A and B are shown apart, each in its own frame.
Chain A
Amino acid sequence: MNRRILRRVLSNFMVGLMIGAVVVALIPLFFILLNLVLKGAGSLSMEFFTRTPAPAGETGGGVVHALVGTLLIVGTASLIGLPIGVGAGIYCAEYPTSRLTWITRFVADVLNGTPSIVVGVFAWAWIVAQQKHFSALAGSVALALLMIPMVLRTTEEMIKLVPNSLREAALALGYPRWRTSLSVVIRTTLPGIMTGALLAIARIAGETAPLLFTALGSQYLSFDLDQPMAALPLTVFTYATGPYEEWHRYAWAAALVLIIVVFVLSLGARLAVRRRFAING
């Protein structure tokens, strides 16, 4: 048997297998998008983005309450979660031999694997049950708890990529260690850290379970973080399981909007990486 032909056949076969795997991975994504566009795009209108829902049984209305709610809840969650996650990530990367780092990493990994509904239960027990009412803030806390381990690990990985020679250069100029971290290491990795943050935001924007018994959902436009609030994933959930045909159409449209939001965030993360300032060495 000619070994060269055998080798080529085997090579092509393996490449074929891998292309097949890629196609199989993409098919569900494609059908999800197609399905959402087909069933949801028809319901998108100015009204959909600017009005609150019509009373049950009537037609018309929109999901502006859920859009605003998602922005507020996710924004608050980011305000809580990003500084903690990024800060802890910097600590873990800059003091890799400290015992605290070992513990933090372990806890972050456990937290990363925790089902989001468990985190929701936690937020319910500690905030909702104590205050005796549902609130958007409780939802934000639950989402922030989900964000922290994600952001922590991406921040740490990004900082580890900074060449040691850069760190030494700053130290040799007399920079104390903490200022070296802040002005050289962090500045160099800022695009990477931002990417991690955006991806974490995209991830939690679609979370439903932690909001079910914290932010609860609402039919009204609300800006009060201390009160129940609507959010896009909750709206999808409510409308999709509701009895009316119109609700089902709105659920598809809201899902489409949610996917678009996540898509835009991910795309922004990609662009941030591409503009990354070149590091040498």
Chain B
Amino acid sequence: MVTTDRFAGERLKLSPFYPRQEELNIREAWSSWNGYKFAEYYYDVEYEYFCVRNLCGTYDICPMQKYEIKGPDAEAMLNRMVTRDVGKIGMHRVAYCMWCTDEGRMIDDGTVFRLGPDRFMLTCGSPSIAWLEKSSFGFDDVVVTDITDDMAALSLQGPTSYAVLKKLGLDGIETAKPFDIRVFPYHGSQLMVSRTGFTGDLGYELWVEHDLGLTMWDELYKAGADYGIQPYGEAATNMARLEAAFIMPDMEFNEALKTVHFQHDQTPFELSLGWLVDFRKPHFSGRAALLEEKRRGPTYTLTKLDIEGNRPAEGAHIYSNKRCNREIGYVTSAMWSPVAKANIALAMIRTEHLDGPLWAEIYYEKELRHHSRVVPCEKQSKPFWAPARARATPPPEY
């Protein structure tokens, strides 16, 4: 094909859903993710957020990196790479995993889909093919393929998501428990549905081959018309995930291979994700370092905070007293939670100060005048938002 676009080389890629997204994104609020043109929001951030919490919304996960890992050594290869025991992932089940450097610093997190005895799909936020190539070296019989661009994937999240899938005619979806995978025949191909997501709510992720993407979108929107289906963008996702206390790269963690300064990356224990590290496995990459980290205790601990007042604590420093002369941490993400009616935050706090008082120094602006305020914070042990429907099987209709 002859292109006449003299900037073609510098343009972002378009998702298979782009024709629909383009129409719906009347604010032209585009950003980018992994080379794809990507909606920051479509219409209004709060509107989209409430769609997810009240009805259902779709979130384009085409730019998310997807790798097929196949072959008799696939399980061994993954098991050595990630900190969880891949052998314990049942057939057609998904597990949230992370993988670390030899030093036990987190490279990235993602989900591992077990699609067969010798076949897995790994999804993650950033390109990881170089690490996967390193990880598969030395295994005779495993093939890693980047299938990101071969697939169309859409996340459907919110209380009516189950009803929409029923309406779409996916019989048996009611038996899908969280992290289950179901596969349905679809236009001569397959529609894979996993009960997964990044909102902490009831939700599913839908996976089809690239060329069926638009068909799926249209059919889903048709089925969802009566259930308030709407697209939502990056901004609403970020709100929902924070309420669920999920971590984000560049917010809660730096990818270790992209971290310049010594130990400015994080360990699973620092991120309060020690439960993902399975020391019953005799070996995985970073095990020795992580064992040492567990023994010594992490320097920082990611902590959920409920903060007094309503001013979001974005970028706030955490102190051990109200006079703010002893800094013990910093806020990584913060917002006013509309569902919890709370001023919530995730913060990295020096572990030895976790049990003491926590004060946040918040800077805010009121009609161009800038203020600061020191307020007490309360630690939370549970996510800020964890509705029972997210775990119920079968889920309630809405």
Do A and B originate from a single complex? no
State the A residues within 8 Å of B (CB). none
